[in-house]
Amino acid sequence: AETKTPLSNFDTGVYVEDSYANTAKNLDVVRKTLNRPLTLAEKVVYGHLIDPTTKVTRGQTYLKVQPDRVAMQDATAQMAVLQFISAGLPKTAVPSTIHCDHLIAAQFGAAEDLEVANEENEEVFNFLASAGKKYGIGFWKPGSGIIHQIVLENYAFPGGLMIGTDSHTVNAGGLGIVAVGVGGADAVDVMAGLPWEIKAPKIIGVKLTGKLSNWASPKDVILKVAGILTVKGGTGAIVEYFGDGVDSMSCTGMATICNMGAEIGATTSIFPYNARMADYLKATERESLANVADTFKEHLKADENAVYDQIIEINLSELEPHINGPFTPDLAHPLSEFAEAVKKNEWPEELTVGLIGSCTNSSYEDMSRAASIVREAQSHGLKVKSLFNITPGSEQVRATIARDGIIDTFEKAGGTVLANACGPCIGQWRRDDVPKGTKNSIITSFNRNFTSRNDGNPATHAFVASPDIVTAMSIAGSITFNPNVDTLKGTDGSDFKLSAPTGEELPNRGFDPGMDTYQKPADDPDSITVAVAPDSNRLQLLAPFKPWDGKDYDDLTILLKAKGKCTTDHISMAGPWLKYRGHLENISNNMLIGAINAENDKANEVKNQTTGVFGAVPDTARDYKAKGIRWIVLGDENYGEGSSREHAALEPRYLGGVAVIVKSFARIHETNLKKQGMLPLTFANPSDYDLINPEDKVSIVGLTTFTPGVPLTMKVKKPTGEELDVTVNHTFNDDQIAWFKAGSALNKIKSDRGM
């Protein structure tokens, strides 16, 4: 019998050959319609179209595609999994995984920190583990590593399409897959068997020529690109790399470049399949996958003369190391000009902490290059002058660098190895070397450096650079150190220059898998009960929302008329609320507390129309809910902009809201509201917003004949008895109207399956 290659070594019943055959078949159709050469990203995305006859215009057409897999991290997985459970399906429709990495804080070092995290988050980890077992989701335990490294090592494959509930999912583009970071709502859809919708991305081409040399590394490619495109330059686009410079970089180096594509707002980034990727696949026990990819090569690179919306050219031979920051990842400084910028801007010269690793830069190659620098310093009697933290991206990398003496090198030089987790990269850093508020400089090989991100101290100046530069500066103890020109003084009093780093792309002796940190789905899922304690503060099972009652909405109360900017952060704040991500009841106490009330220009202070007393928005909504009063929210332009946070749609629905009527919506939030059975509507005439006041009562008429493209009417009744009709538009299609009628998209899926 013919043997096929599973999508990963952990999957059964899903095969690379089938995914490729589907792509090839789709592309035959797409090519006939488009009749032009295609870029690589286009091939992968259009190759996954549900309907390949879709006539695609980049930047315009909404595409329905079928991803090959879903990955979730522990923070965002909670609500996604809770929603999936409420759909009542026995198993996810596509291979899915959960990765415990974000909830682990760095303080003392790997072993201790992991123990603390396991204690603090026991409930959440147990819930995710049991849900994984029951619903066929692969579960990577705390300590296994950072989601994006685990995905690169085990799941990414050239020509695939995946989504992940984390913005740096894009890391996997280093293995030639289109991998996109999404919100939980999208993950739920795909796990439940719905297609994933994405606006056809524009394509930015980056042509690489020449070859990296000296202190330059792949990280410097993206630091340079970020300087050119800025934090917004990639919005709505896939960044596609090509040119003969590509082959001079390792697969993990390409992943680093793709990872930081998130910092320019790109949908994702991708590299064409090449021998370096094949080497990586082989080193990570996926030789048969590489063999299949070899037979599919022409679909894993751009056609000749493919057209890009914009092209950037970078000559790697001339590329200098870059240092980006502080406070934003697009403030790019070539190394040769950096010391001067530090002095001119009076940034603190002394380096307090250097940090290498994270999902961005923790490959074996990165670690072995950094170790080569440390060893040379050691041979002159030097240790690191700054604090020096190392975050391995995965248990496999940790075990391998431990075996090969690299950890020993770091520790002997004064470094601390942290847990294989996000830690300081996401502010999970209980830092005590510098008091909060003290101005100081740190440099990391991570990706983001927004104010307070790493240590919660707004006075910390965080810079981003390659692990090589971070290591060299940590030895020198100063961010003005330039290893190309500056010397260090050895313990014997003589001056020396650091040589350019050298490293091994892949471990000579192969990877050491380390501890087994994977939990596979149960063979007898029915025997598994998902662990959620009824009195839990952090987790709460979701009850399905009620279906529509078949009648127009009469006599609705206006909870809040929001004025000006109302982002998903105003609707569902982050910060301290994040610990309630898995508990809809508790997190709903942040509903709309950031929105400005048009009536009094205050946040979180609205009049309760039944008592006349002003109070907090969530409390008022709860009072209405208890009294059986249905309510709506009015809003301004671009309501719900910001993130794809599904809580911003779940909370109003949970507290008894039925409609959000605004001048205009951010599209993702609008769709999220529809998924939860709410009515997102827009004023046909935006100035009608001014005609309605919080004490008015509102009816929404036309629901019994709810039809795509046909506006609804809002009947407004003033306290004086005066009435007026306001036309409101909607963007519901037939499927979405069915969601509304069923009470939510998940209810609809359930009823379609006869459950």
Binding site for ligand F3S (CB under 6 A): 101, 146-148, 166, 168, 358-359, 422, 425-426, 446-447
- C-beta closer to ligand F3S: residue 143 or 245: 143
- C-beta closer to ligand F3S: residue 358 or 644: 358
Radius of gyration, CA atoms only, the chain = 27
Cβ atoms of 270 and 240 closer than 8 Å: yes
- C-beta closer to ligand F3S: residue 259 or 744: 259
- To the nearest whole angstrom, how small is the minimum distance from the Cβ of residue 469 to ligand F3S? 19
Give the separation between CA 142 and CA 514, rounded to whole angstroms: 14
Cβ atoms of 139 and 97 closer than 8 Å: yes
3-state secondary structure of 131: helix
Q: What is the DSSP letter of 725?
A: E
- C-beta closer to ligand F3S: residue 534 or 575: 575
Q: Which of 302, 147, 304 is nearest to 239 (CA)?
A: 302
- To the nearest whole angstrom, how small is the minimum distance from the Cβ of residue 580 to ligand F3S? 19
Kindly report the number of other CB atoms within 10 A of residue 666's CB atom.
20
- C-beta closer to ligand F3S: residue 246 or 418: 418
- C-beta closer to ligand F3S: residue 114 or 542: 114
- Listed in sequence order, the residues at least 6 apart from 116 whose beta carbon sits closer than 8 Å to its beta carbon are 105, 107
| Tokens, residue 104 | 């682990």
Cβ atoms of 99 and 60 closer than 8 Å: no
Helices (H), 583-690: 584-587, 617-626, 647-654, 667-675
Cβ atoms of 560 and 103 closer than 8 Å: no
Cβ atoms of 309 and 281 closer than 8 Å: no
Give the separation between CA 83 and CA 122, rounded to whole angstroms: 20
Give the separation between CA 289 and CA 154, rounded to whole angstroms: 11
- To the nearest whole angstrom, how small is the minimum distance from the Cβ of residue 168 to ligand F3S? 5
Amino acid at 46: Y
Helices (H), 443-519: 467-476
- To the nearest whole angstrom, how small is the minimum distance from the Cβ of residue 26 to ligand F3S? 31
Phi, psi of 384 (to 5 degrees): -75, 140
- To the nearest whole angstrom, how small is the minimum distance from the Cβ of residue 258 to ligand F3S? 12
Looking at the annotation, which residues are catalytic?
A: 101-102, 166, 448, 643, 645
Phi, psi of 466 (to 5 degrees): -70, 160
- To the nearest whole angstrom, how small is the minimum distance from the Cβ of residue 572 to ligand F3S? 20
- To the nearest whole angstrom, how small is the minimum distance from the Cβ of residue 166 to ligand F3S? 6
- To the nearest whole angstrom, how small is the minimum distance from the Cβ of residue 152 to ligand F3S? 12
- To the nearest whole angstrom, how small is the minimum distance from the Cβ of residue 401 to ligand F3S? 17
- C-beta closer to ligand F3S: residue 414 or 427: 427
Cβ atoms of 234 and 241 closer than 8 Å: no
Cβ atoms of 204 and 234 closer than 8 Å: yes
> How far is CA 670 from each of CA 49, 64, 352, 638, 745, rounded to the nearest angstrom?
23, 17, 45, 10, 13
- C-beta closer to ligand F3S: residue 645 or 730: 645
Count how many residues are written for the chain: 755
Give the separation between CA 262 and CA 464, rounded to whole angstroms: 14
Cβ atoms of 242 and 206 closer than 8 Å: yes
- C-beta closer to ligand F3S: residue 139 or 740: 139
| Tokens, residue 564 | 């000006």
